[in-house]
Amino acid sequence: AKKKVEQPGSLDKDQLKQNIIHHLRSTLGTSEEKASRQSWWKATCAAVNEQVYERLTQTQQTHLKQDTRAVHYLSAEFLMGRLTANNLHNLGLYETCGVALKELGIDIADLCEEEPDMALGNGGLGRLAACFIDSLATLNLPAIGYGLHYEHGLFRQEIRDGRQIERPDSWREYGNPWEICRPESIQEIPLYGYVETVFGEDGKMKKVWHAGQKIKGVPWDIPVVGYEGKTVNILRLWESRASEFFDWDVFNAGGYIDSQAEKAQAETISKVLYPNDESEAGKILRLVQQYFFCACSLKDIMRRYKRAHGSDFSQFAAQIAIQLNDTHPTIAIPELMRILVDEEELDWDAAWAICYKVFSYTNHTLLPEALEKWALYLFERVLPRHLEIIYEINRRFLEDLVEPKWPGDDAIKAKLSIIEEGSQRKVRMGNLCVIGSHKVNGVAEIHSKLVKEDLFPEFAELWPEKMCNVTNGVTPRRWLLSCNPELAKLYTDTVGAEWPLKLDLMRGALKHADDAAFQKKFMDIKRANKEKLVKVIKAETGIDVSAEAIFDIQIKRLHEYKRQQLNLIHIMALYRRLLANPDYDMHPRVFIFGSKAAPGYKLAKDIIYAINKVAERVNNDERIKGKLKVVFMPNYRVSLAEKLIPAADVSQQISTAGYEASGTGNMKLAMNGAITLGTLDGANIEIAEEAGAEYNAIFGLTVDEVKAVKAKGYNPWDYYYANPEIKAVLDWMDTDFFTPGRPGELSSIKRALLDGGDTYLALADFESYSEAQKKVDAMYRDKQVWAKAVIVNSATMGKFNSDRSIQDYADYIWYLKSCSVA
């Protein structure tokens, strides 16, 4: 008889309790009396995994039997955060488990705190990948995420004397209950070496790549549980190991030490995540990382395809979609060509037709320093055969497409070529992506327009249908249901329990936006969340803040274009106004920052230092009567975001227009009842469209105005001399007011804004920003106005459900249908 599959939430409290105790004893080897909180956590995970694995098997059997088309999401980063609460919620077991644990004397929230964040990503791009795989499973779409199993994720940030210190992150030091090693699916990956041209018996020319080294790729699977869903997909992360294949010869020859060195080198490939966000370092190890995970993933895809179809590749493009999350996995394009042409012996045109249908590419940034280009000599050393293939792709592209369209135009050829000429020749990964993909998308309307018109205009002329938009989204399961249970409950009571799947239902709360009783409920929840955060702030920083104040939050990676420095100079201006007039009329405000700087980004680190120094001075100045507080929360990460976001009143999204591709924190904060204080950039534009600009504080130059100002020749000194407040604040940075005895420690910020030319127009936007801040203050003082605004913002965020984004990808890019799992 067929075994009955457990339905979501079908496990009752007593069964769960029994299972937890069972695992405590027989998996963790301890007892209820002795168990540490960590053991309780692991035992709970083991009990939950019984449910997860059942459904995982069911899902895989269904997909296999139905031979479903699937999407393969290739990403160098997956910023997963913690999984315990998330998996419990998605299985419909959170409440039950809470009661079970309570009866065992454990608080479920404390238990969840035991889990280290899985921080295998830098910021927006990595967290988007995590939201997307949640939505893929929730929508019952056959999908697999592929990435790298970094031993160390993004560094842990400590603040010492106001400065950022980086410490290694060791997320799996004491074991991770969510990952499963799959030695049966190990892959072997060639690197380095040379290419030989040989002629087969049929007289055909063939290329043979003789690798200089082989690396073993060990897959670790993380189950991805869909909401209420029957579908459990996997995230497969590759770990590098030394291949045994020639170590032993070295060992036998007495080279034990050499063999260990070889091993160490192989294992460095997946050792650590590059902490650079939006700036390319051009390091060879990073190229090796990229090739390593792409090659492992393609071998895995091939193995699965061949199991069903043998060497008949006519169905390959019908079965396989591969999404490239930015250019980091671009090397998968020539790798698939290599497999099809060199190994499977398809002719070039047939192989190219397959590739073109299989791949699609998402662009996440327009910043020139973030666009990946590899020095040709490095590329050739690591991947000699791939370089030949790229030359051939390029030759055909230029001859067959560019020359007919722009006959004789060498300037255009030089611009569109995959190879950048010059003193140092380079491979342009962006161009390769566009040429090798059937669809290219940006991540918000304005960003996609700029990708089309400014970044790749000629490509858009060649292929007008190729360029498209898919506005980002976030999973409401993590970013509302799980992180803000009280607000989630209010939505359930108001619009029904379906909203985590159909976020548009939140609009049902709009009709209560003016209702005093509903406003009170909503604002009481916000107040309670703020009270909770007050305690976290005290515990983490020692700073006392009051929940009476406006909580004004800017949380994101530190970058000049995101303009934390604009926030800071405004804080200094407010402080000055308060010193000049202690009765300066403003509602008390707490400015909260959370941000990591790339370790090599000097100015970003200086801005962190400046925020901390200003905070010290402001927070300890009794003259301003607690009207102003500044808090820098160390070690910003997913699990901290989950505590900050529900407590925010104001969401600062203040990038220079045209630079933030989308932003996703903006969506999370608005959903949880914050007003957006933002520029018309990225998804802010669409957020303001949904909610109504009047309920937010929109300011600053538009994209077109930014372009115009830059074209005319921007001079920050004009603003310095024209606005006495700007001048006073910047001059303050040269003094020792914030750094007693050490004048000039904050001067680098002033210098970047004046001598450095203020690349991101912070001074140009200052006045408008300051006015928007006044609007925020005025709105907040009228409790009804404020309550209505936050309710409208929250209730209109349905569009930003990542389920909607994924449905767009499925419909317009992947042509992928859902598959229900019994």
Looking at the Cβ atoms of 128 and 592, the one nearer to ligand 26W is 128
Closest CA to 242 of 257, 228, 221, 261: 261
What is the number of alpha carbons within 13 Å of residue 668 lying toward its C-beta?
30
Query: What is the distance between the alpha carbons of residues 236 and 74, in angstroms, rounded to a whole number?
Result: 10
Cβ–Cβ under 8 Å, residues 578 and 621: no
Could you write out the three-class secondary structure of 197-211? EEECCCCCEEEEEEC
State the nearest-atom distance from the C-beta of 274 to ligand 26W, in Å. Answer: 7
Q: Cα–chain-centroid distance for residue 607?
A: 22
∠ CA 803-808-813 to the nearest 5 degrees?
A: 130
* Residue 472 C-beta: closest distance to ligand 26W, Å: 5
Take residue 280 and report the two structure tokens written for it: 């390319």
Burial classification of residue 279, based on how many CB atoms lie within 10 Å of its CB (0-12 exposed, 13-18 middle, 19 or more buried)? middle
Under 8 Å between Cβ of 675 and 649: yes
Q: How far is it, in rounded angstroms, from Cα 604 to Cα 437?
A: 35
Smallest gap from Cβ 703 to ligand 26W, in A, equals: 14
Distance between CA atoms of residues 343 and 338, nearest Å = 7
CB closer to ligand 26W, 229 vs 473: 473
Mode of pairing for the β-strands spanning 187-191 and 650-653 = unpaired
Check 149, 385, 521, 556 and give the catalytic one: 556
| Largest Cα span, the chain | 92
For residues 203 and 807, give the distance between their C-alpha atoms in angstroms, rounded to a whole number: 49
Instruction: In whole angstroms, give the CA distance from residue 437 to residue 538.
Output: 50
Nearer of residues 286 and 521 to ligand 26W, judged by Cβ: 286
* Residue placing its CB nearer to ligand 26W in the complex, 221 or 280: 280
CB of 505 to ligand 26W, least distance (A): 25
Active-site choice (69, 668, 750, 788):
668
Shortest spacing between CB 165 and ligand 26W, in angstroms = 22
Spatial neighbors of 225 by CB under 8 A, at least 6 apart, are 52, 55, 86, 87, 90, 91, 137, 232
Q: Is 562 a catalytic residue?
A: yes
The CA distance from 427 to 434, in Å, is 13
The three-state secondary structure class of 11 is: coil
Beta strand pairing status for 194-199 and 205-210? Answer: antiparallel
* Closest to ligand 26W by CB, 260 or 759: 759
- Active-site residue, from 664, 676, 739, 796: 664
Say which DSSP state 117 is in.
P
Name the residue nearer to ligand 26W (CB basis): 474 or 691.
Answer: 474
Half-sphere exposure of 185 (CA within 13 A, CB side): 19
Known catalytic membership, residue 17: no
The residue sitting closest to ligand 26W, measured at its beta carbon, is 124
Cβ 470 to ligand 26W shortest distance, Å: 10
Residue 364 annotated among the catalytic residues of the structure? yes
Q: How many helices, marked H, and strands, marked E, lie in the chain? A: 34, 25
Shortest distance in whole angstroms from residue 119 CB to ligand 26W: 14
- Tell me the residue type at 581: N
Which of 230, 304, 478, 557 is the catalytic position?
557
Record the tokens describing residue 323, joined without a space.
């999404």
Compute the least distance from the CB of residue 683 to ligand 26W, in Å: 7
Active site residue 489: no
> Which residue out of 236, 364, 426, 750 is catalytically annotated?
364
CB nearer ligand 26W, residue 289 or residue 484? 289
Task: Looking at 82-139, list the stretches that DSSP marks H as alpha helix, in order from N- to C-terminal side.
Answer: 84-90, 94-103, 108-112, 124-138
Closer to ligand 26W by Cβ: residue 44 or 360:
360
Which strands sit side by side in the sheet containing 373-375, from one edge to the other? Answer: 373-375, 426-428, 419-420
Provide the 8-state DSSP code for 801.
B
Closest distance of CB 280 from ligand 26W, Å? 4
Q: Residue 387 Cβ, how far from ligand 26W at the closest point, in Å?
A: 20
What Å distances lie between residue 573 and 480, 515, 683, 767, CA to CA? Answer: 34, 37, 28, 11
| CB distance 241 to 187 below 8 Å | no
Residue 85 and residue 156 in contact, taking contact as beta carbons nearer than 8 Å: no
Specify the residue, 223 or 682, whose C-beta has the smaller distance to ligand 26W: 682
| Gyration radius from the chain CA atoms | 27
> Judged by CB, which is closer to ligand 26W: 274, or 593?
274
Catalytic residue among 562, 589, 596, 629: 562
Handedness of CA 523, 525, 530, 535 (dihedral sign): positive
C-beta of residue 570 within 8 angstroms of C-beta of residue 586: no
Closer CB to ligand 26W, 195 or 371, in the complex: 371
Burial class (CB in 10 A: 0-12, 13-18, 19+), 219: buried
For residue 676, indicate whether it is catalytic.
no
Residues 6+ apart with CB under 8 A from 139: 226, 803, 806, 807, 810, 818
> Would you state the structure tokens that stand for residue 91, as one six-digit string?
């299985």
Binding site for ligand 26W (CB under 6 A): 122-125, 128, 276-280, 326, 364-365, 370, 372, 443, 472, 660-664, 682
Report the nearest approach of ligand 26W to the CB of residue 689 (Å).
17
Which of 300/326 has CB closer to ligand 26W?
Answer: 326
Nearer CB in complex with ligand 26W: 366/761: 366
CB of 367 to ligand 26W, least distance (A): 7
The single-letter code of the amino acid at 114 is E
DSSP state of 474: B
The reply to whether 664 belongs to the active site is yes
The tokens describing 396, both together, are: 């055909």
Least distance in angstroms from the C-beta of 365 to ligand 26W: 4
Active site residues: 364, 556-557, 562, 664, 668
